[in-house]
Amino acid sequence: MSDAAEQMFSIVKASEGSGAPLYLQLKKNIEDAVQRGVIGPGDALPSERDIALKADVSRVTVRKAVQDLVKSGILVQRHGSGTFVAPRMERVEQSLSRLTSFTDDMARRGMTASSVWLDKGVYPPSPDEIMILGLSAKEMVARVSRLRIANDTPMAIERASLSLTVLPDPAAVGSSLYNALEMTGHRPVRAVQRISAINIGAADAKLLDVPVGSACLHIERISYLASGKVIEFTRSVYRGDAYDFVAELRLAGPSEDFGGKT
């Protein structure tokens, strides 16, 4: 480790003139070192014991500082191999005016899209699914849930519901849902998307490999066929540190409505 990096372990004790708790000082020093690029993504930190010796503080103090930094996503801990500076996310810029699929979006950026299947099956519909997909209470619904990955980075969790009339066999979906719909002439041509901010829960955080409670985007997409029939109702959780959604805005004409619910 360089001299500059070693500096992050030098902290000032109360008796030497600083009142700040030791773990907060240590935490701030490490945070500053990451921000200034003194240590970079993927760099390993010394062991808890070594940091305690270098900083002349207890291991409990080191543990508390490190745990806080893991919680805020600055450091990551891998069992058996230690503590590292978290990898930097390359943000993906996503247009809000084009109806594209995850597979298309990643291909356009030269990334490889893959998925881990969380579920694909046929279920009795929920009240939301009945209402949005226009199902009768006796009809079943197809559900396709996936963890979406770009290269090796988990980007989003997508839980799609579709009427069995357009997707009679969800098990037949391969790597792309929209490709499967295209094959049967049911690829959507229009969609309404609602985006809101959430703090991610424990189960989804584990899948996306982000700290519990971190800022994410909840995205609901309702897609339509040219006939106006709703084809897809998808609820997704996107990593907040991975996406920038971009929309082009134009001055509204005098007759156009401002806002209001869709």
Positions touching ligand GLP (CB under 6 A) are 101-103, 158, 160, 176-179, 221, 232, 234, 236
> Closest approach of Cβ 138 to ligand GLP, in Å?
26
Q: Which is nearer to ligand GLP, 45 or 173 (CB)?
A: 173
Q: Which is nearer to ligand GLP, 64 or 146 (CB)?
A: 146
> Closest approach of Cβ 12 to ligand GLP, in Å?
50
> Closest approach of Cβ 102 to ligand GLP, in Å?
3
> Closest approach of Cβ 206 to ligand GLP, in Å?
21
The residue written with tokens 């490999």 in the block is 209
Q: Which is nearer to ligand GLP, 77 or 101 (CB)?
A: 101
Q: Which is nearer to ligand GLP, 18 or 112 (CB)?
A: 112
